[in-house]
Amino acid sequence: MSIRSAAIIGAGVAGLTAALSLARHGIRSDIFEQADTLTEVGAGLQLSPNASRVLGELGLLQALSEVWLEPRDVSLVSGRSLRRIASVPCGSFARARWGAPYGVLHRATLQRVLVDAVKANPLCTLHLSTLLANPSLQYLSQAGLAAADVLIGADGVWSRTRTQVPASPAPRFSGNIAWRFILREADAPRFLDRTSVTAFLGPSAHLVCYPLKETGGFNVVAIAAGSSSAREWGAAGSEAQRTMLIRQFAGWNAEIGRVLADAAQATFWPLYELGNGRWHNGRDTILIGDAAHAMMPFAAQGAAMAIEDAYELAGMLATHPLAEAFDLFETRRQPRIARLRQRAAFNRFAYHARGPLRIGRDVVLALRPPQSLAADFDWLYGYRAVG
Ligand SMILES: Cc1cc2nc3c(=O)[nH]c(=O)nc-3n(C[C@H](O)[C@H](O)[C@H](O)COP(=O)(O)OP(=O)(O)OC[C@H]3O[C@@H](n4cnc5c(N)ncnc54)[C@H](O)[C@@H]3O)c2cc1C
């Protein structure tokens, strides 16, 4: 028999999508979120067709299409010479090839669209300002917060729900730091493409830049090596960390260097990732999104995987007994996440290549037409999550 209700820890992309996906099957959910409000400053998100297809199934695509921008392509460009190395077409090409759009938007916009849908759905109840120190079904029931059949841990890389799952993965620092900020249109160098996602590449560092329709200006993410034991995302970062970042972009195009040096509002995101491990306890608790498989943003797929996870888990919970649904979820999702990790590791190697490797990379990529590069993404962007 299928479950009737779920308790979800975390109202990020994974948790909110899970609530909406469960509601499609008539399953009620209570979502518990520690934050008082759901906003995030200074960060953009690329949403690829595998994710936008799911958001379409949830009836959210119209609202998103009105506010996001569909980039013409994703281009790799030398951070030193500004020479275009390669590009993968998006825009109408993405809709035709992968059957769904590729969009870029501010993360707060996605969260608002998801929250509005959750609030409008009588099967979903959102509890803000509710930090669960040791989330468990037993605790939720004893505290009178929720009586649910399943606990879904969608509480991010520092998940506390993970303590309920023996042999679950542990976070480790990746050795890389992301700096994120919004660049005002008035401060943007003329060469920044107003219609595309551009990844500027250099030795041991890269910088991704794309326009945001909602705010005007650009979302900028600079990723370089760094040291940190900080768990806190989105902090300002110390002066020493800032100096170290700017040093790693020395020798780059001077305008890019200036943009980084002037980015007083930049926030500092030490990148942690999870390795292999179990995602459920075989009984009543399961992890999705970053709580299960936080990864480096080299393939821009963390939120997309959270969306796929949420949608597929809901379908499995609606059609299988709990323990079977849990096993099915791991069996179906783990190979996909493993393949994506390989792709992200390859991107990391290719993006940050130096010396002869960099020259080899540029030669190989230059030989590949955009259509052929696009074919490399069919398994990823053409994926049809089953919900
Ligand atoms: C620099 C950078 C760029 C990225 N770019 C992209 C991109 O372009 N495309 C893409 O698809 N992905 C991207 N990602 C990845 C993406 O942001 C994440 O994978 C995604 O947001 C994970 O969503 P989540 O809901 O699993 O976790 P989170 O967003 O971390 O949400 C977890 C929620 O749980 C709440 N919570 C945690 N603990 C508790 C508790 N004990 N009690 C109650 N609430 C709790 C938190 O407050 C939070 O709201 C990027 C990541 C980074 C760092």
Token pair, residue 29, equals 């959910």
Comparing 238 with 124, the larger pLDDT belongs to 124
Long-range residue pairs from 369-372, CB within 8 A, at least 24 positions apart, any chain: 370/73, 370/86, 370/87, 370/88, 370/89, 371/89
5-171+274-381 folds as FAD/NAD(P)-binding domain (3.50.50)
pLDDT per residue over 339-361, tens digit each? 999 999 989 888 888 888 888 88
pLDDT of residue 38: 80
Confidence of residue 298 (pLDDT cuts 50, 70, 90): very high
Pocket test for ligand 1, best of 8, 45, 279, 285 (most atoms within 8 A of CB): 45
Distance CA 147, CA 95 (A): 42
Average pLDDT over residues 11-21: 97
**Order of all β-strands in the sheet with 124-127:** 124-127, 28-32, 5-9, 150-153, 285-287
Q: Which of 12-21, 98-107, 180-189, 233-242 has the lowest mean pLDDT?
A: 233-242
Largest CA distance in the chain: 63
Question: Checking DSSP bridges between strand 205-211 and strand 218-225, what pairing results, if any?
Answer: antiparallel
Contact 48/380 with Cβ under 8 angstroms? yes
Give the number of other Cβ atoms within 10 Å of residue 268's Cβ. 21
Share of the chain above pLDDT 70, in %: 97
For residue 90, how far is the Cα from the chain centroid?
18
Question: Checking DSSP bridges between strand 171-183 and strand 267-274, what pairing results, if any?
Answer: antiparallel
Confidence of residue 290 (pLDDT cuts 50, 70, 90): very high
Per-domain residue ranges of the chain: 5-171+274-381
Q: Is 214 exposed, middle or buried (0-12, 13-18, 19+ CB in 10 A)?
A: middle
Please name every residue paired with 175 in a beta bridge, in sequence order, or none if there are none. none
Ligand 1 atom, smallest distance to 104 CA: 8
Please say if the pLDDT value at position 232 is more than 70. no
Cα–Cα–Cα angle for 14, 18, 20, nearest 5°? 125
Pocket test for ligand 1, best of 8, 13, 102, 134 (most atoms within 8 A of CB): 13
Q: What is the rounded average pLDDT for all residues in the chain?
A: 93
Token pair, residue 321, equals 């007994």
Ligand 1 atom, smallest distance to 10 CA: 34
Distance CA 9, CA 381 (A): 28
Ligand 1 atom, smallest distance to 303 CA: 11
Contact 233/156 with Cβ under 8 angstroms? no
Active-site residue identified among 102, 139, 210, 311: 210
Contact 9/161 with Cβ under 8 angstroms? yes
